[in-house]
Amino acid sequence: MSNLNSHARYVIDSNSFIEPFKRYYSMEHFPSYWEWMKQYLIDNSSEIVVPEVVFNELKNSKDKLATWISAYVEPVVFKEYGNDPAYFVEYGKIMNYLQDCGFYQRPAIDNWSQDWKADPKLIAIAAAYNLKIITFEQPAGHLDRRNPMKKEPKIPDIADYMGVSCVSLFQVEDELKLLI
């Protein structure tokens, strides 16, 4: 695990920052939440990994969240996965599965093939480093080869195939005993 904290247990999806920012914990009304998140992420014993692809997605939003992300999260961004052969093996498994499973139409597969797309990278990181994914995303439901989806794959569906667990931010907040 090159330069990955040995205490790491989770890798976090962009929506686990965006949803609290937009729906649950506005920065104006719940500054204590954002202070807790900041302290938890920058603490050397942090169990939550923020991969570079998620950081890049969030810092480009041009809002208060982007400013917060740039100010507090950038120093702890996990970048080294891009040099790790284990990550590339897992990423390859994901892309091969998308091609071969028959559940997704070409536009959905092409979407996940884009270099900027965080979802497959997030799953590959989780698989390579034995981490759980923190996400609000839900499975698509029944997948059918006779009627492949036009929409992009859902993280929990592909994570399940890869043997990776997904948990909601609320579950992690409970486990880490968030008090605001």
C-alpha of 101 from chain center: 22
pLDDT of residue 28: 93
Give me the CATH number covering residue 141: 3.40.50.1010
User: Distance between the two ends of the chain, CA-based, in angstroms?
Assistant: 33
**Closest by CA position to 125, among listed 56, 61, 48:** 48
Counted domains in the chain: 1
Q: Each residue of 73-114: pLDDT tens digit? A: 988 899 999 899 999 999 999 999 999 999 999 999 999 999
**What is the side-by-side order of every strand in the sheet holding 166-167?**
48-49, 10-12, 132-134, 166-167
Task: Sort strands 166-167 and 132-134 into parallel, antiparallel or unpaired.
Answer: parallel
pLDDT at 11 over 90: yes
At residue 22, does pLDDT exceed 90? yes
The whole model's pTM is what?
A: 0.91
- Domain extent, residue 10, equals 1-180
